[in-house]
Amino acid sequence: MPAPVKKQVHLAAQLPGIHNVTVWSDPRSESQIAIDSFIRLAQTVERGKFDFFFLAEGLRLREHKGQIYDLDIAGRPENLTVLSALAAVTTHLGLAATVNATFNEPYEVARRFATLDRLSAGRAAWNVVTSHDAFTGENFRRGDFLPEADRYTRAAEFLTTARELWDSWSAGALRADAASGEFIAADAGRFAHRGRHFDISGRFTTPPGPQGHPVIIQSGESDAGREFAASDAEVVFSKHNRIDVAREFYRDVKRRLATYGRSPDDLLILPTANAVVADTDEEAAAYAEEISRELVSPQTAIAHLEAVWGRDLSAYDPDGPLPGIEPEDDAHFLKGHSVFRKDRAETARQWRELAEERNLSIRELVIEVGGRQTFVGSPQTVADAIDGYVQSDGADGFVLVPHLTPGGLDDFVDRVVPILQERGVHRDDYYTGTTLRDHLGLATAPRPAAWGGPGRPLRTGHDEKENTV
Q: Residue 354 domain-assigned?
A: yes
On whether both 359 and 383 belong to a single domain, the answer is: no
On whether both 155 and 65 belong to a single domain, the answer is: yes
Give the residue numbers spanning the domain of 318: 297-370
Q: Is 407 left (phi over 0), alpha (psi -120 to 50) or beta?
A: alpha
On whether both 185 and 303 belong to a single domain, the answer is: no
On whether both 169 and 244 belong to a single domain, the answer is: yes
Select from 328, 353, 370 the last residue of a domain: 370
**How far apart (Å, rounded) are the C-alpha atoms in residues 367 and 348?**
15
Residue 123's pLDDT is what?
98
On whether both 245 and 130 belong to a single domain, the answer is: yes
Closest by CA to 337, choosing from 128, 135, 67, is 135
98 labelled binding-site residue: yes
pTM, rounded to two decimals: 0.90
On whether both 308 and 242 belong to a single domain, the answer is: no
Select from 341, 370, 399 the last residue of a domain: 370
Q: Residue 467 domain-assigned?
A: no
Select from 370, 386, 409 the last residue of a domain: 370
81 labelled binding-site residue: no
**How far apart (Å, rounded) are the C-alpha atoms in residues 380 and 383?**
5
Closest by CA to 100, choosing from 70, 56, 164, 44, is 56
Radius of gyration for the chain, computed over Cα atoms and rounded to the nearest angstrom: 23
Closest by CA to 48, choosing from 436, 453, 423, 410, is 410
Tell me the residue length of the chain. Answer: 469
What's the number of CA atoms in the CB half-sphere (13 Å) around residue 269?
A: 28
The answer to whether the beta carbons of residues 271 and 397 sit under 8 Å apart is no
Q: Residue 2 domain-assigned?
A: no
**How far apart (Å, rounded) are the C-alpha atoms in residues 7 and 441?**
12
Q: Would you call 195 helix, strand, or coil by DSSP?
A: coil
On whether both 177 and 59 belong to a single domain, the answer is: yes
361 labelled binding-site residue: no
In DSSP terms, which residues pair with 177 in a beta bridge?
182
On whether both 18 and 72 belong to a single domain, the answer is: yes
Residue 142: DSSP 8-state? -
pLDDT in single tens digits along all 469 residues of the chain: 566 789 999 999 998 776 667 888 899 999 999 999 999 999 999 999 999 999 998 888 888 888 888 887 777 899 999 999 999 999 999 999 999 999 999 999 999 999 999 999 999 999 999 887 788 888 887 666 677 778 889 999 999 999 999 999 988 888 888 999 999 999 999 999 999 999 999 999 999 999 999 999 998 788 888 998 999 999 999 988 788 999 999 999 999 999 999 999 999 999 999 999 999 999 999 999 999 999 999 999 999 899 889 889 999 999 999 998 888 866 566 777 666 666 778 888 999 999 999 999 999 999 998 878 899 999 999 999 999 999 999 999 999 999 999 999 999 999 999 999 999 999 999 998 999 999 999 977 654 333 333 222 222 222 222 222 2
Using alpha carbons, list the distances in angstroms from residue 111 to 84, 168, 214: 13, 12, 11
SS3 content of the chain, % helix, strand, coil (to 5): 35, 15, 50
Number of structural domains found in the chain: 2
On whether both 256 and 326 belong to a single domain, the answer is: no
